[in-house]
Amino acid sequence: MNSRLLQVQESTTIRIADMAREIERRGERVIKLQTGDPDFATPEAIIAGAHHAMKTGYTHYVASRGLPELCQAVADKLRRDNGLEYDPNTELLVTHGASHAVFVALQALLEPGDQVLVISPFWMPYASSTQLAGGYPIQVPTDPGRGFEFHVDELRVRLTPRSRVVILNTPANPTGKVFSREELRAIAEAAETYNLYVLADEVYEKLIYDGGEHISFAALDGMKERTITVNSLSKTYAMTGWRVGYLAGPSVLVEQMLKVAQYSGTNVAPFSQMGALVALTDPSLATFIERMRQTFDRRRQHVIEALHAMDGLRLAIPQGAFYFMLDVSCFCQDSMAFAYRLLDKARVAVVPGVSFGDCAEGWVRITFAVDEVPLLEGLARLGEFLHTEYAL
């Protein structure tokens, strides 16, 4: 058995989702607040574009890098939205979603024993992809007592001669944190000083609240040549099942990442790519994105109101994405046990915080990417569960 694989933990999010589905198969209703999958239908224009592509022959192998027209659309998007200039022929790669982009990038960047610094709490595939590439994920803790505030000194003290990559996610899963320009500049200075690459995951860039601003890390002075930017169509256009993402970076790196993509996925389904092309080129879809963002923001406010009514329950207010982190440590310090018990007793599925890193133990994550009715019902069930099980 591959020893690297033995180090990798099964996805807790998927495990909880499987448990919820098993309960539903027995005829019981579960409120599923664990998975980050927008409850919006993929826009009809995108579906029509993919359907037309299927009918006109886009059902065979295509270039591993991605359809040329989609690569050009990605380059145009990065220029328009992020102030970044990339050559679509040499500096871009279409991937099977952002998770594949992260996997491909780390396979290309890491030697066995290299270290990857992941700002914690973090999305689980950052650690697992690092381990599968023979590297070691090093957690950089944030301050849960201050809304998971980031301090660059926590990054600096963990740097060693084997440090190779910093993974940055803004807006962040699971905390919803949006990194400020000052925080990004501090990370950039550390990257320059210690000759690090930065893998910048920006999949939630369009989902920001309270007038916040998304800043692409690669757009900072001097950072483009040491940054691999990762994004996808999944969250922005409600296309999670389509599996279309992309990465952008220096051509010397992307050419090596292309090899990994060729041997791990051949190519993204061409009809999915044609749907993605519509998403990136149809200006009318900006209305869909803003409507979705406003809906999520309204739900976010309702979650805040509901949770503030529950004494003893502390929460981190998200600035972006569609997740809340809830501090349940005063009820149960073992977040895994809490999540299992909540599912068993109240039929509400959440993700234990420990899945996202050591500093998130005692917390759980819920999503508000679900319809408002089950969302509020799930919160009501949570409140009743705390009252019954912990005498809240």
Let me know if residue 229 belongs to a domain.
Answer: yes
pLDDT at position 5, please?
A: 84
- Among 281, 299, 328, the domain-final residue is 281
Per-residue pLDDT for 100 more than 70? yes
How many folded domains does the chain comprise? 2
Asked whether the beta carbons of 285 and 43 are under 8 A apart, the reply is: yes
Shared domain for 269 and 341, answered yes or no, is no
**pLDDT by residue (tens digit) across 301-341?**
999 999 988 877 889 999 999 999 999 999 999 999 999 99
Per-residue pLDDT for 193 more than 80? yes
Note the pTM of the prediction, 2 decimals: 0.94
Let me know if residue 49 belongs to a domain.
Answer: no
- Among 241, 258, 281, the domain-final residue is 281
Token pair recorded at residue 46: 């995108």
Shared domain for 291 and 265, answered yes or no, is no
pLDDT at position 53, please?
A: 97
pLDDT at position 310, please?
A: 86
Asked whether the beta carbons of 1 and 287 are under 8 A apart, the reply is: no
* Percentage with pLDDT > 70 across the chain: 100
**pLDDT by residue (tens digit) across 366-388?**
999 999 999 999 999 999 999 89
Shared domain for 324 and 370, answered yes or no, is yes
Shared domain for 219 and 189, answered yes or no, is yes
Per-residue pLDDT for 3 more than 90? no
**pLDDT by residue (tens digit) across 133-166?**
999 999 999 999 888 999 999 999 999 999 999 9
Distance CA 322, CA 367 (A): 6
pLDDT at position 390, please?
A: 82
pLDDT band of residue 102 (cuts 50, 70, 90) is: very high
- Among 281, 316, 340, the domain-final residue is 281
Shared domain for 125 and 271, answered yes or no, is yes
Shared domain for 154 and 232, answered yes or no, is yes
Let me know if residue 353 belongs to a domain.
Answer: yes
Shared domain for 23 and 79, answered yes or no, is no
pLDDT at position 145, please?
A: 86
Per-residue pLDDT for 300 more than 70? yes
Distances 16 to 22, 136, 384 between C-alpha atoms, Å: 10, 26, 21
pLDDT band of residue 14 (cuts 50, 70, 90) is: confident
Mean pLDDT to the nearest integer, 67-86: 98
**pLDDT by residue (tens digit) across 32-48?**
998 889 999 999 999 99
Shared domain for 102 and 85, answered yes or no, is yes
Q: Which residues contact 316 (CB under 8 A, 6 or more apart)?
A: 144, 147, 148, 175, 176, 177, 324, 325, 327
Shared domain for 14 and 98, answered yes or no, is no
**pLDDT by residue (tens digit) across 204-260?**
999 999 999 999 999 999 999 999 999 999 999 999 999 999 999 999 999 999 999
**CATH number of the domain bearing residue 130:** 3.40.640.10
| 3-class state of residue 156 by DSSP | helix
Shared domain for 63 and 117, answered yes or no, is yes
Which class for 60: exposed (0-12), middle (13-18), buried (19 or more C-beta within 10 A)? Answer: exposed
Per-residue pLDDT for 392 more than 70? no
**CATH number of the domain bearing residue 367:** 3.90.1150.10
**Domain of residue 8, residue span:** 3-41+286-390
Shared domain for 311 and 379, answered yes or no, is yes
